Chains A and B, each alone.
Chain A
């Protein structure tokens, strides 16, 4: 059920990415699919996060003037890196997720730009301003979306995380030395 919810969120994110730039230009600086891909990776579901990254990237590339697969490449890489980080570091606090989404956005744009340059295609946007605006837009909106998603998924996620993070304690009965003494 939880995966279905994330899949629906990803599809909505792709549709928003396809349409919102025509409503207002600044919306282009928010990478909605990246926000959801990073969220999926933060849920410690690496395999699904990788597939989400590829699918969302190719869906965005299909309507873009860039190379088909460039976004798929960068988002798959981001999904893997985030899922590896979250395996080693506890990132369930929202404040800790903010630098993760900002870093993911920076890396995503650098990889995307680099792949185009590598294959002889020069993007039209200016490097520094485009990256700066995208990081600001994606981080701010991403934080709000994570708040909404966290409240949406709260119960099932918290239960599962507790189960994964803390192994059930063995209920062992300790002998109290004082009582032992009394027995004598």
Chain B
């Protein structure tokens, strides 16, 4: 081992710092330039991290479940009564739904509508969250060995969660919809009642989305649901994004400013599902337009 005098160390340190900063800056510039988050360092780090994250997640969720089950024992009796009543109500509702489904099939056959194929869902457990306080990506325990590919949509029982941003053989990283930016391909949403279209993007605040480009002449209500349209070429149509919590009304010439609370509970969810959805190929003339709203 080389022993350096303190004077030599003082002389060497600034040059070493400059070299390391330059190396980091080149990495950053490369990372900013590439559209995908996928690269060799991330793939290896995620694969290594899986062996640490999985056991810790398993232990922590087991401990949490144990304490939750103890605390829920007290309310179990009253909850049981409520659930029994709910089951009876649902049985009645199910019978109504069955008759509606039969009617739906009959009407579709009359109109000769094509049946939309159901996508395969791959359940996955969240084993890690972003180690930086500035971002909120997720890491799931499914990777390319399970068939997960870049940009596949990720959902939970509440609604849309985000898309796959990097894949390693054993894990995948997920970008939440709160991160999507208008200039990077925001989700195109459809208002449940009016069918008006707009671009849904992150606001910089956790658990709040903004919907822009909705004409001010259209009536919008707080509580309306917003769904994906599939036009951005990543998410399939019909996935629930969230519900409107605030509307700053526009006019005939000014667009509405709409704020949406996402349906998925990002901070509490432990499991998600990856949709094996591949968007239909875009026509040649459309490939020159990467996003709904082009970069400035």
Contacts and interface: CB of A to CB of B under 8 A. Distances in A.
A is bound by B: yes
Interface of A: 15, 17-19, 21-23, 25, 28-29, 46-47, 50-51, 53-54, 57-73, 76-77, 79-80, 83, 87, 112-113, 115-116, 119-126, 130, 133-134, 164
B32 A112 contact: no
B132 A18 contact: no
A112 B133 CA distance: 11
Contact of B204 (A60, A66, A68, A124): A124
A146 B205 CA distance: 34
What DSSP secondary structure best describes chain B's contact surface?
Answer: helix
Contact of B134 (A59, A62, A68, A130): A130
B204 A69 contact: no
Contacts of B205: 126
Given A22-B57, A57-B24, A123 B39 contact: no
Contacts of B130: 21, 28, 63-65
A123 B27 CA distance: 18
A25 to B, nearest CB: 6
Contacts of A22: 53, 56-57, 60, 126-129
A69 B31 contact: yes
A125 B32 contact: no
Contacts of A57: 24
A66 B45 contact: no
B70 interface: no
Nearest to B41: A62
A60 B17 contact: no
Contacts of B13: 46-47, 50, 80, 83
Contacts of A80: 13-14, 17
Among B41, B45, B126, B127, the one with the most A-chain Cβ atoms within 10 Å of its Cβ is: B45
B42 A66 contact: no
A121 to B, nearest CB: 6
B53 A19 contact: yes
A115 B31 CA distance: 12
Given A68-B31, A70-B28, A124-B202, A46 B9 contact: yes
Contacts of B107: none
19 contacts: A15-B52, A18-B53, A21-B128, A22-B60, A22-B127, A23-B60, A25-B129, A28-B132, A51-B20, A54-B24, A59-B45, A63-B49, A63-B128, A68-B31, A76-B17, A116-B134, A120-B32, A126-B205, A130-B133
B67 to A, nearest CB: 13
A53 B131 CA distance: 16
Most buried by B among A54, A87, A113: A54
B66 interface: no
Contacts of A73: 21, 24-25, 28
A121 B32 contact: yes
B285 interface: no
B82 interface: no
B173 A65 contact: yes
A59 B132 CA distance: 11
Given A77-B21, A120-B32, A50 B16 contact: yes
Interface stretch (B135-143, B145-153, B219-227, B246-254): B135-143
A38 to B, nearest CB: 15
B16 A62 contact: no
A124 B57 CA distance: 24
Contact of A29 (B14, B133, B173): B133
B181 A18 contact: no
A120 B136 CA distance: 18
Interface string B243-265: 00000000000000000000000
A28 B133 contact: yes
A1 to B, nearest CB: 13
Contact of B17 (A18, A50, A126): A50
